[in-house]
Amino acid sequence: MHTAQPAAIMGGRPNPLRRAEAWLDQRGRPAWIITMVLGFVLFWPLGLATLGYMIFAGKFKRHTFGQEDHSMFCRHRRSHHHAAWRSSGNTAFDAYKSETLKRLEDEQEAFESFLQRLREAKDKQEFDRFMDERATKAAAPVTEPAA
Protein backbone atom coordinates (compact mmCIF):
# COMPACT_ATOMS: atom_id res chain seq x y z
CA MET A 1 0.00 0.00 0.00
CA HIS A 2 1.38 3.38 -1.00
CA THR A 3 0.99 6.24 1.42
CA ALA A 4 1.17 9.77 0.09
CA GLN A 5 3.21 12.51 1.67
CA PRO A 6 1.18 15.17 3.55
CA ALA A 7 2.41 17.86 1.15
CA ALA A 8 1.26 15.76 -1.80
CA ILE A 9 -2.17 15.28 -0.26
CA MET A 10 -2.64 18.99 0.30
CA GLY A 11 -1.17 19.84 -3.09
CA GLY A 12 1.55 22.02 -1.55
CA ARG A 13 5.29 21.94 -1.80
CA PRO A 14 7.24 19.47 0.32
CA ASN A 15 8.83 20.66 3.53
CA PRO A 16 12.10 22.50 2.75
CA LEU A 17 13.89 20.55 5.48
CA ARG A 18 12.80 17.27 3.87
CA ARG A 19 13.98 18.53 0.49
CA ALA A 20 17.34 19.51 2.00
CA GLU A 21 17.61 16.09 3.67
CA ALA A 22 16.86 14.33 0.37
CA TRP A 23 19.40 16.53 -1.43
CA LEU A 24 22.09 15.71 1.16
CA ASP A 25 21.21 12.00 1.08
CA GLN A 26 21.71 11.97 -2.70
CA ARG A 27 25.21 13.35 -2.24
CA GLY A 28 26.14 10.93 0.52
CA ARG A 29 27.89 11.02 3.86
CA PRO A 30 30.52 13.64 2.88
CA ALA A 31 27.74 16.18 2.19
CA TRP A 32 26.29 15.58 5.65
CA ILE A 33 29.69 15.96 7.27
CA ILE A 34 30.41 19.18 5.35
CA THR A 35 27.00 20.52 6.40
CA MET A 36 27.71 19.68 10.01
CA VAL A 37 31.16 21.33 9.95
CA LEU A 38 29.75 24.45 8.27
CA GLY A 39 27.04 24.52 10.91
CA PHE A 40 29.67 24.49 13.66
CA VAL A 41 31.67 27.21 11.91
CA LEU A 42 28.73 29.52 11.23
CA PHE A 43 26.70 29.00 14.41
CA TRP A 44 27.73 26.23 16.80
CA PRO A 45 24.18 25.28 17.92
CA LEU A 46 23.32 24.66 14.26
CA GLY A 47 26.28 22.28 13.91
CA LEU A 48 25.33 20.58 17.16
CA ALA A 49 21.74 20.18 15.97
CA THR A 50 22.97 18.72 12.67
CA LEU A 51 25.23 16.29 14.49
CA GLY A 52 22.38 15.26 16.80
CA TYR A 53 20.08 14.69 13.82
CA MET A 54 22.74 12.67 11.99
CA ILE A 55 23.19 10.42 15.01
CA PHE A 56 19.46 10.12 15.70
CA ALA A 57 18.54 9.44 12.07
CA GLY A 58 21.41 6.99 11.57
CA LYS A 59 23.15 9.01 8.88
CA PHE A 60 26.51 7.53 9.91
CA LYS A 61 25.43 4.01 8.99
CA ARG A 62 26.81 2.58 5.76
CA HIS A 63 23.48 1.57 4.22
CA THR A 64 21.86 4.97 4.78
CA PHE A 65 22.91 6.52 1.49
CA GLY A 66 21.91 3.69 -0.83
CA GLN A 67 25.39 2.27 -1.10
CA GLU A 68 25.60 -1.17 -2.59
CA ASP A 69 26.25 -4.17 -0.42
CA HIS A 70 29.94 -4.96 -0.84
CA SER A 71 29.89 -7.76 1.68
CA MET A 72 30.82 -10.34 -0.94
CA PHE A 73 34.31 -8.87 -0.73
CA CYS A 74 34.32 -9.39 3.01
CA ARG A 75 37.24 -11.37 4.40
CA HIS A 76 34.99 -13.36 6.73
CA ARG A 77 34.38 -16.29 4.43
CA ARG A 78 32.54 -18.29 7.07
CA SER A 79 29.48 -16.02 7.00
CA HIS A 80 27.58 -17.61 4.14
CA HIS A 81 24.63 -15.25 4.22
CA HIS A 82 26.29 -12.50 2.20
CA ALA A 83 25.87 -11.55 -1.45
CA ALA A 84 28.35 -14.10 -2.81
CA TRP A 85 25.98 -16.97 -2.09
CA ARG A 86 22.82 -15.49 -3.61
CA SER A 87 21.65 -16.82 -6.94
CA SER A 88 22.05 -14.58 -9.96
CA GLY A 89 19.37 -16.43 -11.91
CA ASN A 90 21.90 -17.79 -14.42
CA THR A 91 22.58 -21.43 -13.55
CA ALA A 92 25.81 -21.67 -15.55
CA PHE A 93 27.22 -18.58 -13.86
CA ASP A 94 26.04 -19.76 -10.43
CA ALA A 95 27.79 -23.12 -10.96
CA TYR A 96 30.99 -21.36 -12.08
CA LYS A 97 30.77 -18.96 -9.13
CA SER A 98 30.27 -21.73 -6.59
CA GLU A 99 33.17 -23.78 -8.04
CA THR A 100 35.43 -20.74 -8.04
CA LEU A 101 34.48 -19.76 -4.50
CA LYS A 102 35.03 -23.32 -3.30
CA ARG A 103 38.44 -23.42 -5.02
CA LEU A 104 39.41 -20.07 -3.49
CA GLU A 105 38.33 -21.21 -0.03
CA ASP A 106 40.39 -24.39 -0.42
CA GLU A 107 43.41 -22.38 -1.57
CA GLN A 108 42.99 -19.97 1.33
CA GLU A 109 42.79 -22.84 3.84
CA ALA A 110 45.90 -24.44 2.29
CA PHE A 111 47.74 -21.12 2.45
CA GLU A 112 46.70 -20.55 6.07
CA SER A 113 47.91 -24.04 7.01
CA PHE A 114 51.20 -23.33 5.18
CA LEU A 115 51.59 -20.12 7.16
CA GLN A 116 50.86 -22.01 10.39
CA ARG A 117 53.53 -24.60 9.55
CA LEU A 118 55.95 -21.80 8.68
CA ARG A 119 55.31 -20.10 12.03
CA GLU A 120 55.78 -23.40 13.86
CA ALA A 121 59.08 -24.04 12.02
CA LYS A 122 60.30 -20.54 12.87
CA ASP A 123 59.30 -21.01 16.53
CA LYS A 124 61.10 -24.37 16.62
CA GLN A 125 64.20 -22.83 15.05
CA GLU A 126 64.22 -20.01 17.62
CA PHE A 127 63.69 -22.47 20.47
CA ASP A 128 66.47 -24.76 19.23
CA ARG A 129 68.83 -21.76 18.98
CA PHE A 130 67.91 -20.73 22.53
CA MET A 131 68.54 -24.26 23.83
CA ASP A 132 71.90 -24.44 22.01
CA GLU A 133 72.98 -21.10 23.51
CA ARG A 134 71.86 -22.26 26.95
CA ALA A 135 73.77 -25.54 26.58
CA THR A 136 76.86 -23.64 25.40
CA LYS A 137 76.71 -21.34 28.41
CA ALA A 138 76.21 -24.27 30.78
CA ALA A 139 79.19 -26.16 29.26
CA ALA A 140 81.54 -23.17 29.44
CA PRO A 141 83.94 -23.23 32.43
CA VAL A 142 82.98 -20.91 35.22
CA THR A 143 85.73 -18.44 36.03
CA GLU A 144 86.09 -17.32 39.59
CA PRO A 145 86.18 -13.59 40.05
CA ALA A 146 89.44 -12.28 41.56
CA ALA A 147 88.95 -11.06 45.12
- pLDDT of the residue at 17: 80
Closest CA to 77 of 106, 111, 116, 119: 106
pLDDT, residue 57, reads 81
pLDDT given at position 23:
87
Closest Cα partner for 31 from 69, 5, 64, 2? 64
Three-state secondary-structure class, residue 94: helix
Nearest to 36 by CA among 21, 58, 51, 56: 51
- Confirm whether pTM is higher than 0.85: no
59-111 pLDDT per residue, tens: 776 654 444 444 444 454 444 445 566 777 889 999 999 999 999 999 999 99
State residue 36's pLDDT score.
87
Q: What is the pLDDT of residue 145?
A: 67
- Cα 24 from Cα 34, distance rounded (Å): 10
